[in-house]
Structure 1
């Protein structure tokens, strides 16, 4: 099945939990002694993590900067979601709730970052076009205003289900969207009579259907044929006003998108989404996805992005050098991998390693792989002195990335017969050379995994 692709603005959510037992001496405000800090992905990041509960493969297209908050977000997201970044102008948005005794006292927002409107990276467009369904989680930080992104979404809306979770400061859904999922305040801000006449929203947005979420009462759905209210099932109802409903809208939209991806009708997808959102709130809401600070894997600031790989290629060519590249999954780095990389680096002046993304590895090796996420595999490779840069690709073969990278030498292990290499044609077409190097016998990730399982 094709992946569910989530598009939207992501930010870092922080809950600073503490105890408030006294007042500040210079103002009548509580003093909070912070005892712990909990981190989670917010916005479209939360939507993507929740989508991963309902869909086998989730890809997140979002704007990310180059700061600690962005690297923290990558560490929170990448174990479960394939991350496809687009440029962010400014600092990553972070929202910190100060809490005591389970109650939020104040929220501190920082970071002014907005998504760049300049074009759309090729990898992001390829991710969108590979989707079986798309969820747009708009949080008003510019991703949905990108002109090229909107063109692609408009084109794809005619072919696959697009679910749009709108935001008052965001762009309007593209025409042909299968389902728009505003909450009551968002709906009435767009059309004052939306709760009485939801068809007005559907007409305004040129959407196939609109589902207005109305909290504990479920959702009001207009699909152009009828208007109905889908109630929260009795077993999923939550009582109590202190319930934290943060993230309920994301859970609703993610479940609806997953349902449409599986072929459900709009009504059935909304029914599943109402139930999923209610159970999500009953289980503690977004706070249940938080990770205590200190237990989050912060992405290494070393740049192993595609941009860095191409920068290395340009420097080598400008100096008249010889660029070498190799590729593979590199899941559980072992001596056989290291031997291949050393031999490859000896053939030129710089070595770029093309690494299969997590979704690509799953297609090639099965649902139990990879054992390590793409960022972890990339970090291990870049730690080797023989590797100059790493680029991650989503396709099953590196043909598309080689078209752009154009190494002078493409290296594979000698266990590959030349006829088995789909990249051979493209490398030789631009004048490159394919070299097969001897492999170190007795080593393969599959064999190591099987041996470990046998123990």
Structure 2
């Protein structure tokens, strides 16, 4: 099991307290076919609507959906929206709501109108004034109760008045006494109010406001993260940069190691709530013992899943595990798998829009020609599977003196080559069974073959795949190498 899978498998034992601005996200779905004759605006024809937890509520929802145990602390009004929000929180398995009710306050409602997969308009109904003293006292008590047994506390700040200096101080104090980590999703220009947190996760705009440094490159984002670490004293800073991925400052008060993670987005449908997903995954991974760079990688994968959905989306644990499979660069020994496992992994890759390439051969004594073939094969897709003949298969094809290296040795050598993602050993004379099972998008052989000589060509082309013949480097041959080695051995006798 990979480290990422070990981390995710520990999520169910993590208790995460989420404190912040709760809100209800309403999505109104409909259709737009024409422009109004009354004004240059689209006519929106209502279809249906849906309500989901938003803001801090969406963070807690993501924690629960990814397998953790979430406690949600916030404030709602004594209104229809507040009742709908409380009901939505109660329905979420793994989420325990702890919501203070303030009859003087309006519950935040964000209504988005969506047609053809695109948001047309957002209408906000909210109150952002500071909390009344009695509600602040109520929150302090809720924090103390919820913090018992918590592994992490998340501060989800949407600048709606819940995260005051008082409530932040209460959360930091409760976490400190219990040894829990604190992850902050900040808001505003002054990050000093979060001093003492473990990790802070601004987006690029928030980081630029707080540090005075634009985050339009890796270098400038690195400088901004160091400035934020100096302001807050946080152990780590994670700047989310949209299509540019993430910049992660690890060990901010020590070595200050910097990691830049590319985006893991497949196709963007809706960015609503993606930051909440990042914070939830980060808190769960850190609480599970992950180092900050590994936790950020997992959070980056989760964000890529979230933006591929419409609406304020939550990421399921199973989706996260599949994304880990699809993005994993396996250790050498983990690359060598049976056919059934290879089929499962290839299916996971395709779910994440990865193009699967397969090539096959004996690969007895690897030479530069083989390496060139593998590099060219990998360039035709995203993931490369190499199917190698078993020892018995090679004996039948090439005679009793072959192979020179047994199948275990050949598989280990093949798995150590960077372009190779999986290695499968097959016992048959041809890779037909492997091809039928894996169904590669591209089947690759060397240009010393003719197309009609390629085993499995008819299968691949029948389902819409492609067969590619790639040029080989001249002057390299396993048979010639064996012959020369044998001749040299005779000469030295």
Q: What CA deviation, in whole Å up to 9, does each residue of 1:281-333 have, x standing for no partner?
A: 234462578xxxxxxxxxxxxxxxxxxxxxxxxxxxxxxxxxxxxxxxxxxxx
Q: Take 2:67 and 2:59, find their aligned partners in 1: how far apart are those partners?
A: 12
Q: What CA deviation, in whole Å up to 9, does each residue of 1:377-398 have, x standing for no partner?
A: xxxxxxxxxxxxxxxxxxxxxx
Q: Which residue of 2 aligns with 1:238?
A: 266
Q: 1:72 to 1:215 in 2, by over 3 A?
A: same
> Which residue of the other structure, out of 119, 137, 146, is the alignment partner of 1:120?
137
> Which residue of the other structure, out of 31, 36, 46, is the alignment partner of 1:34?
46
> Which residue of the other structure, out of 57, 64, 79, is the alignment partner of 1:52?
64
Q: 1:87 to 1:115 in 2, by over 3 A?
A: farther
Q: What CA deviation, in whole Å up to 9, does each residue of 1:108-150 have, x standing for no partner?
A: 1113255625233223421134421111111111111151542
Q: Take 1:203 and 1:58, find their aligned partners in 2: how far apart are those partners?
A: 30
Q: Which residue of 2 aligns with 1:280?
A: 306
Q: Which residue of 2 aligns with 1:179?
A: 199
Q: Which residue of 2 aligns with 1:322?
A: none
Local SS of the residue matching 2:187: coil
Q: Take 1:137 and 1:248, find their aligned partners in 2: how far apart are those partners?
A: 13
Matches within 5 A, 1:109-258: 109-112=124-127, 114=129, 116-118=131-133, 119-121=136-138, 122-157=141-176, 159-168=179-188, 172-193=192-213, 195-197=221-223, 198-223=225-250, 224=252, 225-232=255-262, 236-239=264-267, 243-258=269-284
Q: What CA deviation, in whole Å up to 9, does each residue of 1:36-86 have, x standing for no partner?
A: 112111100111100112343110011111111011111211122101113
Q: Which residue of 2 aligns with 1:353?
A: none
> Which residue of the other structure, out of 36, 39, 48, is the alignment partner of 1:24?
36
Q: 1:106 to 1:70 in 2, by over 3 A?
A: same
Q: 1:69 to 1:113 in 2, by over 3 A?
A: farther
Shift of 1:171: 6.8
Local SS of the residue matching 1:143: coil
Q: What CA deviation, in whole Å up to 9, does each residue of 1:136-178 have, x standing for no partner?
A: 1111111111515423424524721100001227875532211
Q: Which has the higher helix share?
A: 2
The number of aligned residues is 285
Q: 1:287 to 1:147 in 2, by over 3 A?
A: closer
Residue ranges of structure 2 left out of the alignment (5+ in a row): 1-12, 216-220, 316-493
Q: Take 1:259 and 1:13, find their aligned partners in 2: how far apart are those partners?
A: 26
2:143–2:170 contact (8 Å) kept in structure 1? no
Q: 1:187 to 1:109 in 2, by over 3 A?
A: same
Q: Take 1:285 and 1:19, find their aligned partners in 2: how far apart are those partners?
A: 16
Q: 1:169 to 1:114 in 2, by over 3 A?
A: farther
Local SS of the residue matching 1:144: coil
Q: 1:196 to 1:219 in 2, by over 3 A?
A: same
- TM-score norm. by structure 1 comes to 0.58
Q: Take 2:311 and 2:30, find their aligned partners in 1: how far apart are those partners?
A: 19
Local SS of the residue matching 1:229: strand
1:214–1:220 contact (8 Å) kept in structure 2? yes
2:68–2:284 contact (8 Å) kept in structure 1? no
Local SS of the residue matching 1:20: strand
- When Rg is computed on C-alpha atoms for both structures, the one with the higher figure is 2
Shift of 1:271: 1.5
Q: CA RMSD in A?
A: 2.4
1:65–1:91 contact (8 Å) kept in structure 2? yes
Local SS of the residue matching 2:107: coil
Local SS of the residue matching 2:270: coil
- Alignment of 1:259 with 2:285, yes or no, is yes
Q: Take 1:172 and 1:250, find their aligned partners in 2: how far apart are those partners?
A: 21
1:97–1:106 contact (8 Å) kept in structure 2? yes
Q: Take 1:64 and 1:171, find their aligned partners in 2: how far apart are those partners?
A: 25
Once the two structures are overlaid, the 10-residue window that deviates more, 145-154 or 185-194, is 145-154
> Which residue of the other structure, out of 84, 99, 109, is the alignment partner of 2:114?
99
Deviation beyond 3 Å, 4+ runs, structure 1:
169-173
Q: Take 1:103 and 1:114, find their aligned partners in 2: how far apart are those partners?
A: 32
Q: Take 2:165 and 2:86, find their aligned partners in 1: how far apart are those partners?
A: 22
